[in-house]
Amino acid sequence: MTHRSSESIVRDPSLAPEGHRKIDWAAEHSPVLNTVRDRYLKDGTFRGLGVGVALPIEAKTAYLTVVLAEAGADVAVASPGPFFVQDDVAAALAERGVTVYASSEADPGEADRKMERVLDRVLGGKEAVLIDDRAGLVRLAHTTRRELLPRIRGASEETTSGVAKFRAMERERVLEFPVIAANDARCKYLFDNRYGTGQSTLTAIMQSTNLMVGGKRVVVLGYGAGAAKASRATRRAWGRGYLSARWTPCVVSKPTPTGSTFCRPWRRRRSGRCL
């Protein structure tokens, strides 16, 4: 069941206390964001500015929106889909001055409608910037909400797929405002893509299978600079080496110095326990 709190729409407002605890924990472990807040966000730059956010709603991204709201921005947030919503965090955000349109019980087909509400809220009679995920907000601004385009100062995009879409739009000369490719920043690439993805991949496997990964052999299909390499590095740190299964002349030799073994996927795929 979905509840409305003022303008926010969340699953259950009574979950807020646990969400506050999660956000407070994230705040204690966000030294960079806290430094940016203290040095740069107290000069009134965000006062009266709209900030539309489409990100997975969990403690870390929630704390970012709280910092922006405390700096004076009118912040509204939605999730790219119900699978990316922690309902306790969403309920807590609604109590901290952030407008939230998110519920884990929402129909996945309603994700665009919630992001349109974000655009309508933050661009209602004022300028705004967008913090996007998978190009959701920017796509809608260029299609169903084109009348709002003149008030959008710019956007940022955190995903590889989203950045690829915007580069294509730029080449076709249809991108109506500047977009920062946050995904290409070194701090995003090196720490999130490389290390965060590796750890979260194995965590997801353990949670969904109820199995330990220690002592098991895992096959990774791909050995790119980001996610696959991260998965191998994390897995090796937890117990056993990886079999890297991607056949290109340049990549064949890469796993060896890092303690992994190259193999053709069709020859060794049965050696792994998880694919």
Flag whether pLDDT at 268 surpasses 50: no
CA 137 to CA 236: how far, in whole Å? 38
E strands in 70-184? 74-78, 99-101, 128-132, 152-157, 179-181
Res 225: pLDDT: 53
Instruction: Give yes or no: residues 53 and 109 share one domain.
Output: yes
Among candidates 151, 161, 160, 80, which has minimal Cα distance to 122?
151
Instruction: Give yes or no: residues 152 and 63 share one domain.
Output: yes
Given pLDDT bands bounded at 50, 70 and 90, which one contains residue 26? Answer: very high
Instruction: Give yes or no: residues 139 and 237 share one domain.
Output: no
Give the residue-averaged pLDDT of 217-246. Answer: 56
Percent of the chain scored above 70 by pLDDT? 77
Q: How is residue 48 written in tokens?
A: 């009266």
Per DSSP bridges, beta strands 74-78 and 8-10 are: unpaired
Percent of the chain scored above 90 by pLDDT? 61
Q: How is residue 241 written in tokens?
A: 């080496």
Flag whether pLDDT at 84 surpasses 60: yes
Instruction: Give yes or no: residues 41 and 175 share one domain.
Output: yes
Instruction: Give yes or no: residues 178 and 206 share one domain.
Output: no
Give the residue-averaged pLDDT of 96-104. Answer: 96
Flag whether pLDDT at 38 surpasses 50: yes
AA identity, residue 125: G
Instruction: Give yes or no: residues 73 and 100 share one domain.
Output: yes
Residue 192 lies in a domain: no
Give ∠ CA 77-79-85 in degrees, rounded to 5.
110
Comparing 25 with 222, the larger pLDDT belongs to: 25
**Mean pLDDT of the chain, nearest integer:** 84
Residue 243 lies in a domain: yes
Residue 15 lies in a domain: yes
Given pLDDT bands bounded at 50, 70 and 90, which one contains residue 207? Answer: confident
HEC profile for 189-203?
HHHHHHHHHHHHHHH
CA 131 to CA 65: how far, in whole Å? 10
Give the residue-averaged pLDDT of 112-132. Answer: 97
Flag whether pLDDT at 252 surpasses 70: no
Res 218: pLDDT: 72
Q: Which CATH number covers residue 55?
A: 3.40.50.1480
Given pLDDT bands bounded at 50, 70 and 90, which one contains residue 11? Answer: very high
* For the ranges 14-23, 39-48, 180-189, the one whose mean pLDDT is highest: 14-23
Res 272: pLDDT: 45
For 226, the domain range is 197-271
Flag whether pLDDT at 261 surpasses 80: no
Point out which residues pair with 172 in neighbouring strands: none
Residue 161 lies in a domain: yes
Instruction: Give yes or no: residues 50 and 120 share one domain.
Output: yes
Let me know: does 206 contact 260? Beta carbons within 8 Å.
Answer: no
Given pLDDT bands bounded at 50, 70 and 90, which one contains residue 73? Answer: very high
**pLDDT tens, 147-166?**
999 999 999 999 989 999 99
CA 129 to CA 175: how far, in whole Å? 15
This prediction has a pTM of 0.79
Res 273: pLDDT: 45
- Residues 6+ away with beta carbon under 8 Å from 265: 219, 221, 245, 246, 247
Give the residue-averaged pLDDT of 217-245. Answer: 56
Given pLDDT bands bounded at 50, 70 and 90, which one contains residue 231? Answer: low
CB burial class (10 A; 0-12, 13-18, 19+) of residue 228? Answer: buried
The total number of structural domains in the chain stands at 2
Flag whether pLDDT at 223 surpasses 80: no
59-70 and 87-94 are packed helices; what angle lies between their axes, rounded to 10 degrees? 10
Domain boundary residue, one of 184, 207, 241: 184
Per DSSP bridges, beta strands 261-262 and 8-10 are: unpaired
CA 76 to CA 117: how far, in whole Å? 9
